[in-house]
Amino acid sequence: MENLKNKFILFGGFAVIMLVTIVGIYLLKVDNTKIIFKSPESYDELYTLLKEMEDNRVYAEDQNLGDLAPSVSKGESDYSETNIQVSGVDEADIIKTDGKYIYIIGNDNLYIVETNDGKTNIVSKLNAQEKIGDKQYHFQEMYLSNNKLIIIKGVSQYYDYGSMDIMPRYYWGGNQEVAIGVYDVTDKTNPFKINELSQSGSYISSRLINNYLYVTTNHYVYNDIVEDDFTTYVPQIKSEKTETIAVDDILILPNPDSKSYLTVTGMDINNSNKFISSKAVLGSSSNIYADLDNLYVSGYSSEKINNTYVSKTSLVKFSMNNGVLNIDATGSVNGNILNQFSMDEYNGNFRIVTTSNDYTILEKEEVISEDDTISSDIAPDINQTKNNLYVLDKDLKIIGKIEGLAKGERIYSVRFDKEIAYFVTFKQVDPLFVVDLSNPNNPNIKSELKIPGFSEYLHVYDEKYLFGLGREADKDGRTTGMKISMFDIQNKEDVKEKYKLVIGDQYSWSESSYNHKAILVSKDKNIIGFPINNDYVAYRFIDNVGFEKIGEIKFSYDEEYYFYGSVRGLYINDYLYASNQFKLISLNLSTLESGDTLDLDKKIINEDVKPEEETNPEEEVEGGENNISEPEEGITNQIEED
């Protein structure tokens, strides 16, 4: 069984070192309070700086990193949308629907599928495997806006190495370009491309606000740069012609240690012949957060104090206005974030939750013997993890903070809800912290609930309940299965895990644990759906009863087929549809009868759809403070208050 306690100790001591030496994320030298950026005077200044970094053997790799609005009804059709973080700020995914048609990216194809009360039929297909010159295109994610489909594509370079014995003549390199294709899908049987733009780097993330699309990429500069060829060391954007990002639109972190640029572009999907604006920042980046007005980009950084590296998160704030981007502020906080949900803006203030994972470098200790002098390493301090919450103003200056929480643990999930922040840390038990942010200058911990296991995703279900998805664990911190929970949050000073259901065993897993787009939560439809292992399961929640299983859509795979794909679920009217990128299967939510099974790829065989009852639920909560009543068949455990 997985022992998270032991895994955490290893992580705490060596994670930052591994990130630096293996993954290639760079430590950036930052000030304690604010990072100051400058614009280069010329491309020559950029070239000189990058050559100095090359001589110092600075390296980095492209990062392809990977972000709640309720489901809505439009027109006569009732259907779900992508699970997003901020209402009005859409996020790309591999599946979308307009309430009649389902759009699916799978096996490097884009399928448009017509639905009719569980019946399904492919009406058209776009193939991404087009080779243009020395480049190969691959579909990554998409947006659907009215009758426009925006497909984000990764572009691989085709290198000709000539006749070589040690490797093939031709080699596909990593993504160094992202293409954005805008398609007209008014006629579902005949979609066609309107325009396509591209920008340097590998895909980080994107957001669609009204009709304006913002895309972020990470562009790494390799060592073979040529001073007179700006394209070898400055990011480019491409429309009808290729343009190097202007010097005035580039910012540099003082003394940067990273040779990668963050590139951000803005475009109008209704006038997609060119980018409206583009910006680049020399330095690493990892996650983005966006509301309707601002885009925040975070990056890993570090400050060396004596022999200790203090982990930092660098922040850049972009204002967004109809595709126009401007850098409004920069700053930094202690610690590193988990994901985009660690960040939030409310009433003009930026809030962020971090884990500090500081480490001390190895030193040499000389021991003199009769024969020789022996040098031995002093091991680093591996128990310096702690967690923090910061509130920053519009200029990204810290105005409120709580530091040093849950020492020896790390953040597993975060959710902001207006003036309240919820976050989970874990080592052996799961402290759910509830923080009052009504006074941004003085954030205040309202309660700390300790229960076995942990939540990896939090979702505000309504004013009464907070939904959590994660893992159950025993008293030693070993995971025993997946867990879904409903926390009663009515009394912020006494939050309780009111209901929970343990699913599967220690080997069970779900993409929803690390990708919020894989989960479907709709209170109006009373459905909570998510992948489990390589299948899809759906529950309903009944107050005063608990979780009740609706059904499970199972996919079976060819034994020789090694890639299962990502599983997504959505509903249209009274039908649940689930896809693993190779098949689409429907289930009637009222009768629980199987609908159609549509093959998107012939490698997948023998699927099965059947409603099932959950068995062997957990019988009690550790600590004896709460008693769990024996559940009815198919019903979750209920935790009763004392």
Q: Which residues contact 204 (CB under 8 A, 6 or more apart)?
A: 63, 64, 65, 66, 216, 217, 218, 262, 285, 286, 288
Separation of alpha carbons 311 and 17, rounded Å: 11
Structure confidence by residue, pLDDT tens digits, 240-255:
899 999 999 988 765 5
Separation of alpha carbons 485 and 458, rounded Å: 9
Give, for 141, the enclosing helix (H) or strand (E). strand 135-145
Q: What is the per-residue pLDDT for 373?
A: 55
Q: What is the per-residue pLDDT for 380?
A: 52
Separation of alpha carbons 319 and 476, rounded Å: 46
Q: What does pTM read for this prediction? A: 0.83
Higher-confidence residue of 227 and 427: namely 227
With cut-offs at 50, 70 and 90, classify the pLDDT of residue 56: low
Give, for 47, the enclosing helix (H) or strand (E). helix 43-55
| Residue 409 DSSP code | -
Structure confidence by residue, pLDDT tens digits, 171-199:
445 548 999 999 999 999 999 999 999 99
Q: What is the per-residue pLDDT for 23?
A: 32
Separation of alpha carbons 206 and 383, rounded Å: 36
Give, for 429, the enclosing helix (H) or strand (E). strand 429-436
Q: What is the per-residue pLDDT for 196?
A: 96
Structure confidence by residue, pLDDT tens digits, 376-385:
545 455 557 8
User: pLDDT at residue 36 above 80?
Assistant: no
Q: What is the per-residue pLDDT for 107?
A: 85
Q: What is the per-residue pLDDT for 514?
A: 96
With cut-offs at 50, 70 and 90, classify the pLDDT of residue 49: confident
Nearest to 354 by CA among 380, 393, 386, 331: 386
Q: Which residues contact 472 (CB under 8 A, 6 or more apart)?
A: 452, 453, 479, 480, 481, 482, 483, 500, 502, 618
User: pLDDT at residue 535 above 70?
Assistant: yes
User: pLDDT at residue 635 above 70?
Assistant: no
- Let me know: does 248 contact 277? Beta carbons within 8 Å: no
Q: What is the per-residue pLDDT for 64?
A: 40
- Let me know: does 554 contact 584? Beta carbons within 8 Å: no
Separation of alpha carbons 111 and 127, rounded Å: 9
Mean pLDDT, all residues of the chain: 81
- Round the CA-based radius of gyration of the chain to a whole number and report it: 25
Structure confidence by residue, pLDDT tens digits, 427-439:
766 689 999 999 9
Phi, psi for 89 (deg, rounded to 5): -115, 100
What integer is the mean pLDDT of 48-76?
52
- Let me know: does 457 contact 513? Beta carbons within 8 Å: yes
First-residue to last-residue Cα distance in the chain: 33
Q: What is the per-residue pLDDT for 255?
A: 54
User: pLDDT at residue 65 above 50?
Assistant: no
Q: What is the per-residue pLDDT for 73?
A: 39
What are the b/e assignments for 206-232, b being 16+ CB within 10 Å? Answer: bbbbebbbbbbbbbbbeeebeeeebee
State how far Cα 398 lies from the chain centre. Answer: 25
User: Which of 318-322, 432-436, 549-553, 620-624 is predicted least confidently?
Assistant: 620-624
Nearest to 297 by CA among 281, 278, 277: 281
The structure tokens listed for 3 are 């022992």
For residue 338, how many other CB atoms are within 10 A of its CB? Answer: 20
Q: Which residues contact 184 (CB under 8 A, 6 or more apart)?
A: 147, 148, 191, 192, 194
Structure confidence by residue, pLDDT tens digits, 279-289:
998 876 779 99
Phi, psi for 121 (deg, rounded to 5): -155, 130
Structure confidence by residue, pLDDT tens digits, 88-122:
999 999 999 999 999 999 988 999 999 999 999 99
Structure confidence by residue, pLDDT tens digits, 336-349:
999 999 999 999 99
User: Which of 274-278, 279-283, 505-509, 516-520 is predicted least confidently?
Assistant: 279-283
Separation of alpha carbons 335 and 325, rounded Å: 27
With cut-offs at 50, 70 and 90, classify the pLDDT of residue 395: very high
How do 385-392 and 373-378 pair as beta strands? unpaired
Q: What is the per-residue pLDDT for 162?
A: 47
Residue with tokens 């065993």, as numbered in its chain: 505
Residue 355 CA neighbour count, 13 Å, CB half:
26
User: pLDDT at residue 529 above 80?
Assistant: yes
User: pLDDT at residue 16 above 90?
Assistant: no
With cut-offs at 50, 70 and 90, classify the pLDDT of residue 365: low
User: pLDDT at residue 640 above 50?
Assistant: no
Length of the chain: 642
In the chain, the largest separation of any two C-alpha atoms, in whole Å, equals 90
Nearest to 327 by CA among 285, 277, 372: 277
Higher-confidence residue of 225 and 268: namely 268
Q: Is 43 exposed, middle or buried (0-12, 13-18, 19+ CB in 10 A)?
A: middle
Separation of alpha carbons 259 and 60, rounded Å: 6
Q: Which residues contact 559 (CB under 8 A, 6 or more apart)?
A: none
Q: What is the per-residue pLDDT for 335?
A: 94
User: pLDDT at residue 329 above 80?
Assistant: yes
The residues pairing with 425 across neighbouring beta strands, listed in sequence order, are 411
